[in-house]
Amino acid sequence: MPTYKLLIAYDGAGFHGYARQPGVRTVQAELETALAPHTGPVDSVVAGRTDKGVHAAGQVVSFTCSEAVDPARLARSLNSRLGPEVAVLDVSEVDAGFSARFDAIERSYEYRVLNREVPDPFLAATSWHVDAPLDLEAMNVAAGAFVGERDFASLCRKAAERATVREVRSATWRREGDLVVYAVTASSFCHQMVRSMVAICVDVGRGVVAAAAVPAILEARDRHAARGAAPAHGLTLVAVRYA
- 8-state DSSP, 144: H
Residues of the chain with CATH 3.30.70.580: 3-94
Position 162 scores a pLDDT of 80
Position 226 scores a pLDDT of 86
Look up 103 and say whether it is catalytic. Answer: no
Give, in degrees to the nearest 5, the angle at Cα 38 between 36 and 43.
40
- In the set 51, 90, 135, 203, the catalytic residue is 51
| CA quadruple 192, 196, 199, 201: dihedral sign | negative
Q: What value does the mean pLDDT of the chain take?
A: 96
DSSP conformation letters of 5-70: EEEEEE-GGGSS-SS--TTS--HHHHHHHHHHHHH-S---EES--PPTT-EEEEEEEEEE-SS---
Region at 31 (left for phi over 0; alpha for psi -120 to 50; beta for the rest): alpha
Residues of the chain with CATH 3.30.70.660: 105-242
Percentage of the residues of the chain whose pLDDT score is greater than 70: 99
The rounded distance, in Å, linking the Cα atoms of 35 and 56 is: 19
Alpha helices in the chain (DSSP H): 27-39, 71-82, 136-144, 193-205, 214-220
Q: How confident is the model at residue 220 (pLDDT cuts 50, 70, 90)?
A: very high
Contact 150, 171 (CB under 8 A): no
Position 225 scores a pLDDT of 86
Kindly report, residue by residue over 10-64, the tens digit of the pLDDT: 999 999 999 999 999 999 999 999 999 999 999 999 999 999 999 999 999 999 9
For the entire predicted model, the pTM comes to 0.95
* Exposure string over 22-47, b if 16+ CB within 10 A, otherwise e: eeeebbbbbbbebbeeebeebebbbb
Q: Which CATH class is domain 3-94?
A: alpha beta
Among candidate residues 73, 99, 104, 81, the one with its CA nearest the CA of residue 27? 81
Contact 213, 142 (CB under 8 A): no
For domain 105-242, the CATH architecture is 2-Layer Sandwich (3.30)
Q: Is the confidence at residue 160, as pLDDT, over 70?
A: no
Kindly report, residue by residue over 104-113, the tens digit of the pLDDT: 999 999 999 9
